Each structure stands twice: as structure tokens, then as C-alpha cells.
Amino acid sequence: MKIIRHTDPTWQQTAAALNRRAEASDAVQEVVSGVIKQVRARGDAALIELTEKFDRAKLTPETLAVSQDELAAAWNTADAELQEALIASHRNVFTFAQKSLRQNWSSTNEQGAEVGEVYHPFERVGCYVPGGSAPLVSTSIMTVTLAAAAGVPEIVVCTPCGPDGSVNPGLLAALKLAGATEVYKVGGAQAIAAMAYGTETIRPVAKIFGPGNSFVVEAKRQAFGVVSIDLLPGPSEVLILADKSGNPAYIAADILAQAEHGKDSQAGFITDDADLLNAVVAEVNRQCATLSRQAQLGPVLEKGVFLLLAPSLEEGARLVNVYAPEHLTLITERESDILPMIRTAGAIFLGNDSPVAVGDFLAGPSHTLPTGGAGKSFPGLTVDMFQRRTSMIRLNKESVTKSEPIVRAFAKVEGLDAHGESVAIRARG
Ligand SMILES: NC(=O)c1ccc[n+]([C@@H]2O[C@H](COP(=O)([O-])OP(=O)(O)OC[C@H]3O[C@@H](n4cnc5c(N)ncnc54)[C@H](O)[C@@H]3O)[C@@H](O)[C@H]2O)c1
Ligand SMILES: N[C@H](CO)Cc1c[nH]c[nH+]1
Ligand SMILES: [Zn+2]
């Protein structure tokens, strides 16, 4: 864990280093463009080869897809505890999504033209559900449920399989409940390439959604333009900003929950209270020893965790905006002063009793959120990203006549007289 104190002469430079950009290394960019080229050139054959190389599983064109029967069986054989948890999470996420669906509207502009917006669900979308370091069962709910709530008829899912060629049955059960219509056992950049360009087995989609490791995120970035994408949700991270009211045991537990995501994950803690900082360090060390994922925790605690003592909570809030965390936990007795200052967090968890893990699994907003500083320009996943918007414009004799002089002025300055004439001819009647 890196500890940065504002009494260190260089603390401001170190804090400035928090200003990061979500950008893949040259090596990752190169691997991904190679993978995309292979999938474009050789379709299923490349998917099968790359799955053997990266996931050590031997698939055939016949076993790339998970059948609807397998999905139904996964749901039917899931134990009652898991079924109940999935149903509770799905209900919250579906209800939240329904509230933020965009509605069609129409109105008249100043010249009397009828103008409005119409929304349709995309016909066919692709959701990536990660499965490299852990089967992210909850990500099935946090992506596919939104597609279903928007009314998307064809919801394709790609997720990696294990070396035996199978996908975690709990994850399949979640996909069944959430409404996936096609599921393929393909992970990594090759999955994104397949959904963007299509193969013999996987027909291309219009838009790709969902989180993943740096290969997945870079593949989405490279596929952008061929398809649209939601955002760039990469390795998970949390930043906690707390004053002396913060509970050190809870804060440490949230840091460790984040760190167990493993490779490239980050957790930060900013406070204006030196005693709290020291107590959190002690709690992280104490609680860490009790956890199972030591192989993931160790490297993140060494390189991906920082604790920063700021001169004030206001300075802490400025640093939060510079860092643009995926998740911010804000614990302060002065919430009404500090909360309005926060402008770049993907999701904000308020108070000692709001663990990020409840947002990961249950609360309602999708846990698919911008990482690596991308929160400065991207919001988290919302249901309206599954809706395609079209604008509508209707004029009549009166409104076209009122519009004509304004259009004529634009046509004149742009030197496009046919534009002006196409309006004037109607105004003249
Ligand atoms: N930001 C969010 O909203 C959000 C949500 C959930 C998960 N996540 C993040 O998603 C990530 C999931 O990562 P993961 O690795 O566990 O699963 P993943 O499914 O994203 O990646 C696994 C795939 O990566 C490919 N791969 C692995 N090593 C490779 C290599 N050297 N070269 C080329 N391809 C390679 C393999 O094909 C494998 O199938 C985690 O970092 C997690 O924090 C983020
Ligand atoms: N924290 C991850 C990114 O928001 C989501 C997740 C899934 N499972 C556990 N956590
Ligand atoms: Zn998590």
C-alpha cells in the first residue's frame, strides 16, 4: 500500500499523478488488433484456435454455442438460494431500468414545425460477461436485464469457458433469467471481434455492451465505428473519501473487496484525518489475512492501493474529480457541502452503511461503470443505451413559409442555393 501524506514535500505531485487515462499499452493494442484480424479473416476457425490458446479449451463449431436447453437446465438445477438471489437482483435492476427508459415525445418549434424523438430498441445487441478471473454472474444481470427492459429482441452474450469447455452454471442460470437469446462460449478480444464482424456461427450485432479486462476493453475501442459501444468499463476500482466519521473496519473491507478483483484493480482512500488513515491501514492488514483470494489480493495491495492524507475534505473532493473513480464511497458529516463538489464518479455510495458490493450485486443501477479515469467523459451503463433514437420533423404550408427566410439566409452564406430553393418552392405553393 502506498501512503501519501500532505506533509510529504512531494505530495501534490503524487496526487497529480492520480490523473490517469484509460489507455491500453502498446503491447495490448497490438495483441488485440492481431486477434481482430484473425477473426475477420478466418471466423469460427480463429475463435476455436484463440480459445484453445487463451482459455485452454478445445471447442468445435458445434460446441461454440450454449443451447437454449442448456440454459433452461442451468436455471432449473440452480439451488434455491441462488435462484432467490438472482430473482431479487433482477427485480431491482429491471425496476430501475424501467424508470430510466426514454419516452417518445413531440412538440412544435418557433416556426410551427412538429419536431420530436422516437425510440426503438436495437434489433440485435451483444453483451460481454467476464469470466477470466471469476465467473461474473452478476454482470449477466447488470447488462442483459437492461437490454430486455428496453425490448431488444436478440440479445447475444459472449463469455469465456473453462478448460473443460463449460461455462459456470450459475452464470448460465443468470443469463436465462435476464433474457439472453443466444450465448457463446467465447471470451476476450476474439468475442468482441466475433460480435462486431460476425463469423459463420455468430451473426454480427449493432452495438456491444459490457465490461472486461484490458484486452476486452481495447477490442471494444478498436471495433468502435463498425459497431457502437456503451462505454469502456475495465478493471474495477474504488475511491473512498471520508472524514473522522468513517468506520475504519468498513473502509478496509471495501478496499479489500475491490482488491480481490485482482489484476489491474485499484483502491484508494483519501481522508483529512491521520488517525483514521492509520486505523484503516491496520484494519486492511488484519482483515486481509482472513480472506481466500490471496493470489489476487497480494499484487493489488502492493501496487494498486493508495491511502492519501489531504489537508481538507474539500481538497480530497478535488482529487476525487481528478481521479474520476468507477465507485466513490463518501463518508462525511458534511455531506451537503462535499457531495455537490463530486462531478466525475461512475457511482457514489453514501455513508458508512453503503458497501460497494451491494451496488455490484443488488441495488438497481447497473454495476457496469467507467474506469481508468473514463468517468470524466462516460457515464455508467443505462437502459437508454439499448434504445436507438430517431428524430422526426413534419412541416405544413404555414411552418414551411415561416421557415423559408431563415433557410434562405443559411443557404446564401453556405453557397448552397438548391437548399434554399427546395424550401422556397414549397413556400411559393
Ligand atoms: N467496470 C466495470 O463495470 C466492471 C464490471 C465487472 C467486471 N469488471 C472487470 O472486468 C475484468 C474481468 O477480467 P477477467 O480477466 O477476469 O475476465 P475477462 O472475461 O474480461 O477476460 C478473460 C479473457 O481474456 C483473454 N485473455 C487473457 N489473457 C490474455 C492474453 N495474454 N492475451 C490475449 N487475451 C487474453 C482470454 O481470452 C480470456 O477469455 C476485471 O478486471 C473486473 O474488474 C469491470
Ligand atoms: N465491482 C465490479 C465492477 O463494478 C462488479 C462486480 C461483479 N462481481 C463483483 N463485483
Ligand atoms: Zn466488485
Q: What is the pLDDT of residues 375-413, one digit of tens each?
A: 999 999 999 999 999 999 999 999 999 999 999 999 999
Contacts (Cβ under 8 Å, ≥6 apart) of 372: 20, 21, 22, 23, 232, 234, 235, 237
In the DSSP assignment, the letter for residue 227 is B
Average pLDDT, rounded, for the chain: 96
Q: Which ligand is nearest to the CA of 296?
A: 1
In the prediction, which pLDDT does 14 show?
A: 75
In the prediction, which pLDDT does 163 show?
A: 96
Strands of 347-350's sheet in order across: 2-5, 305-309, 266-271, 237-242, 327-331, 347-350
Q: Is 236 annotated as a binding residue?
A: yes
In the prediction, which pLDDT does 177 show?
A: 98
ipTM: 0.98
List 90, 237, 283, 327, catalytic entry: 327
- Annotated domain spans of the chain: 2-22+235-363, 26-102+122-229, 395-428
Q: Is 294 annotated as a binding residue?
A: no
Report the top-level CATH class of 26-102+122-229. alpha beta
Judge whether residue 66 has pLDDT over 80.
yes
Q: Residue with the nearest Cα to atom 10 of ligand 1?
A: 212
Q: Is 367 annotated as a binding residue?
A: no
In the prediction, which pLDDT does 133 show?
A: 86
108 φ/ψ angles, rounded to the nearest 5 degrees? -115, 145
Report the top-level CATH class of 2-22+235-363. alpha beta
227 — pLDDT class (breaks 50, 70, 90) = very high
Please indicate whether residue 90 is annotated as part of the active site: no
Amino acid at 94: F
Q: Is 190 annotated as a binding residue?
A: yes
- Ligand 1 centroid from CA 217, angstroms: 8
Judge whether residue 19 has pLDDT over 90.
no
- Ligand 1 centroid from CA 215, angstroms: 7
Ligand 2 pocket check for 138: Cβ under 6 Å? yes
- Ligand 1 centroid from CA 425, angstroms: 59
Q: Residue with the nearest Cα to atom 3 of ligand 2?
A: 236
Q: Residue with the nearest Cα to atom 4 of ligand 2?
A: 367
In the prediction, which pLDDT does 67 show?
A: 93
Mutation pick for ligand 2 pocket among 213, 254, 261, 293 (CB with most ligand atoms within 8 Å): 261
Q: Helix or strand or coil: residue 418?
A: helix
Tens of pLDDT, residue by residue over 108-123, are 999 999 999 999 999 9
Please check whether the two domains, 2-22+235-363 and 26-102+122-229, share a CATH topology: yes
Please indicate whether residue 327 is annotated as part of the active site: yes
In the prediction, which pLDDT does 367 show?
A: 98
Mean pLDDT confidence for 274-301? 96
In the prediction, which pLDDT does 368 show?
A: 98
Ligand 1 pocket check for 44: Cβ under 6 Å? no
Judge whether residue 363 has pLDDT over 80.
yes
18 — pLDDT class (breaks 50, 70, 90) = confident
Q: pTM of this prediction? A: 0.95
Q: Residue with the nearest Cα to atom 3 of ligand 1?
A: 368
Mean pLDDT confidence for 353-376? 97
Inter-residue contact 40 to 343 (CB < 8 Å): no
In the prediction, which pLDDT does 412 show?
A: 98
Contacts (Cβ under 8 Å, ≥6 apart) of 47: 39, 59, 64, 186, 190, 194, 199, 201, 202
Judge whether residue 103 has pLDDT over 80.
yes
3-state helix vs strand vs coil in the chain, percent to 5 = 50, 15, 35
Mutation pick for ligand 1 pocket among 54, 127, 161, 361 (CB with most ligand atoms within 8 Å): 54
